[in-house]
Amino acid sequence: MDFNQTELEKKIVIHMDVDSLNADNHGEFKKIVSGFINRKKDVILDLKEVNFMDSSACGTILYFLRNLNKAGYDLAICEVTKPVQILFGIIKFNKIINIFDSLNEAIGEV
């Protein structure tokens, strides 16, 4: 699974460079995000390349959020594609996690 990261002073941006986050790759996705839990920074998850996400990926994001929060840090999501926005709307993900239209907006708010 391809991803890049950008380290900012008090934040880390994870750019997911995959078309789909699903049951086929959720183990690898969980391993990636788990590596960021103890970095002592807030995290922004950039999903601009992700066009499909299933419940296993949503569960991994909730796992990531819960563990970051336990450590005293936050998780935000940005640049969500239309298909993923629809899913997030159905499951009311915006009530649980901050979702921003742009990376710059997320950086300014988190």
Q: Where are the domains of the chain?
A: 3-109
- Check pLDDT > 90 for residue 63: yes
Mean pLDDT across the stretch 13-22?
Answer: 95
Give the model's pLDDT for residue 19.
Answer: 96
- Check pLDDT > 80 for residue 110: yes
DSSP, collapsed to helix, strand or coil, labels residue 12 as strand
Give the model's pLDDT for residue 9.
Answer: 87
Give the model's pLDDT for residue 69.
Answer: 95
Average pLDDT of the chain? 94
Give the model's pLDDT for residue 98.
Answer: 96
- Check pLDDT > 80 for residue 1: no
Does the domain at residues 3-109 carry the CATH identifier 3.30.750.24?
yes
